[in-house]
């Protein structure tokens, strides 16, 4: 999962170990979650990290995409100018999950 979210390991390590806020662009993203396929293009991702403990980091995301499609058994939608301003994930440096 993390290889799709971060553009490279240097950016990832800067965010999850130094807790540096970051912003970067990803031209295309293809990801599958809970049986749904997500395709997005021209994405801008902003990340703010906060330390929970030595191994655990909370990552707060803001995601902007020019085009995004979600398809699966329960949902099929297409969006232009998509903004997700309140998404987060928990990252464990030991397990890399």
Q: Give pLDDT tens digits along the chain (97 positions).
A: 566 778 888 999 899 989 989 999 989 888 887 788 889 999 899 999 999 999 999 999 998 999 999 898 888 999 898 888 888 999 999 998 8
Q: Say if pTM beats, i.e. exceeds, 0.85.
A: no
Tokens of 44: 């801008």
Tokens of 81: 């100018």
Residues 6+ apart with CB under 8 A from 82: 40, 63, 64, 65, 66, 67, 68
CA–chain centroid gap for 96, Å, is: 14
Q: Residue 48, CB half-sphere, CA atoms under 13 Å: how many?
A: 5
Structural contact between residues 62 and 46, judged by C-beta atoms closer than 8 angstroms: yes
CA distance 54 to 83: 31
């Amino acid at each position: 999962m993390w290889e799709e979210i971060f553009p490279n390991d240097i950016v990832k390590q800067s965010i999850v170990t130094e807790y540096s806020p970051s912003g970067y662009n990803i031209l295309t993203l293809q990801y599958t979650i809970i049986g749904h396929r997500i395709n997005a293009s021209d994405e801008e991702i902003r990340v703010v990290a906060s330390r929970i403990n030595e191994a655990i980091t909370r990552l707060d995301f803001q995601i902007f995409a020019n085009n995004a499609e979600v398809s699966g058994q329960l949902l099929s939608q297409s969006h232009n100018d998509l903004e997700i301003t309140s998404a987060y994930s928990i990252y464990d440096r030991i397990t890399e999950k």
